[in-house]
């Protein structure tokens, strides 16, 4: 119950634009190498960014399992998995929730792509996606498209979860038409 009240307060403060909202470090810039990481997935296996060299990676950060916006965003990424596969792209979701929370979220919502547990907040911070609000830390809703060579090709720091998957698919189309970013 207390956790629910805290999350409601966090949401209210975010919506109000309160000055006590503090963001972590800055996001990596487009064209720079994506910070490498290894995190546990909902399957209790370690996932490293380097494992996906040669593929496009859609690395999306989201605040919390089981919340409405995060559920919508995850469902849309799930719905579009075949289109990502056609584009040689993999979707990886990251939040500060535990691998066990991710496992329950995936089971309840029918998600089959990897959700990664950033419980020490390092990866969210490295990507400029960690938000501190009073004593609560969570990942901001940010997305990074990482090209097959491991460079940041596109960054989104303002995301509408209802439209975002389609927005990312459109960006992948554009990026893959550019010879220098195609990885070929």
pLDDT digits (tens, 9 = 90+) for 128-158: 998 877 677 888 899 999 999 999 999 999 8
Please state the rounded mean pLDDT for residues 52-68.
Answer: 95
Predicted pLDDT at 25: 62
Give the CATH architecture of domain 21-177: 3-Layer(aba) Sandwich (3.40)
| Close Cβ partners of 122 (under 8 Å, ≥ 6 residues apart) | 37
How far is the CA of 39 from the CAs of 49, 115, 166, in angstroms? 9, 9, 26
- For 118, which DSSP code? -
pLDDT-derived band of residue 7, with 50, 70 and 90 as boundaries?
low
Please state the rounded mean pLDDT for residues 29-49.
Answer: 95
CA angle 75, 121, 7 (to 5 degrees): 60
Predicted pLDDT at 13: 46
Please state the rounded mean pLDDT for residues 112-137.
Answer: 90
pLDDT-derived band of residue 8, with 50, 70 and 90 as boundaries?
low
Instruction: Check if the beta carbon of residue 152 is closer than 8 Å to that of residue 32.
Output: yes
Please state the rounded mean pLDDT for residues 174-179.
Answer: 89
State how far the Cα of 169 lies from the Cα of 86, in Å rounded to an integer: 10
Q: Which residues pair with 87 in a beta bridge?
A: none
State how far the Cα of 81 lies from the Cα of 165, in Å rounded to an integer: 10
First to last CA, the chain: 52
Predicted pLDDT at 23: 46
pLDDT above 70 covers what percent of the chain? Answer: 83
Instruction: Please provide the average confidence, as pLDDT, over all residues in the chain.
Output: 87
Q: Which residues pair with 59 in a beta bridge?
A: 92, 144
* Catalytic positions, written as ranges: 70
Number of other residues whose CB lies within 10 A of the CB of residue 182: 13
Predicted pLDDT at 82: 98
Please state the rounded mean pLDDT for residues 152-175.
Answer: 95
Predicted pLDDT at 22: 43
**Helix, strand, coil share (%) of the chain residues, nearest 5:** 40, 25, 35
Predicted pLDDT at 136: 77
pTM across the whole model:
0.83
Number of other residues whose CB lies within 10 A of the CB of residue 21: 15
Instruction: Check if the beta carbon of residue 72 is closer than 8 Å to that of residue 162.
Output: yes
Q: Which residue has the higher pLDDT, 147 or 184?
A: 147
State how far the Cα of 147 lies from the Cα of 109, in Å rounded to an integer: 28
């Amino acid at each position: 119950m207390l956790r629910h009240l805290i999350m409601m307060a966090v949401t209210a403060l975010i919506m109000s634009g309160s000055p006590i909202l503090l963001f972590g470090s800055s996001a990596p810039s487009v064209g720079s190498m994506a910070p490498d990481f290894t995190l546990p997935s909902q399957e209790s296996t370690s996932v490293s960014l380097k494992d996906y060299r040669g593929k496009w990676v859609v690395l999306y950060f989201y605040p919390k399992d089981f919340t409405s916006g995060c559920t919508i965003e995850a469902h849309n990424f799930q719905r579009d998995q075949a289109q990502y596969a056609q584009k040689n792209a993999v979707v990886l979701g990251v939040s500060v929730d535990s691998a066990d929370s991710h496992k329950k979220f995936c089971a309840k919502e029918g998600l089959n792509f990897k959700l990664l547990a950033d419980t020490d907040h390092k990866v969210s911070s490295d990507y400029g996606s960690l938000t501190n609000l009073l004593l609560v830390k969570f990942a901001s809703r940010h997305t990074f498209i990482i090209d097959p060579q491991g460079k940041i090709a596109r960054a989104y720091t303002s995301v509408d979860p209802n439209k975002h998957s389609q927005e990312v698919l459109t960006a992948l189309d554009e990026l893959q038409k550019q010879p220098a970013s195609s990885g070929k």
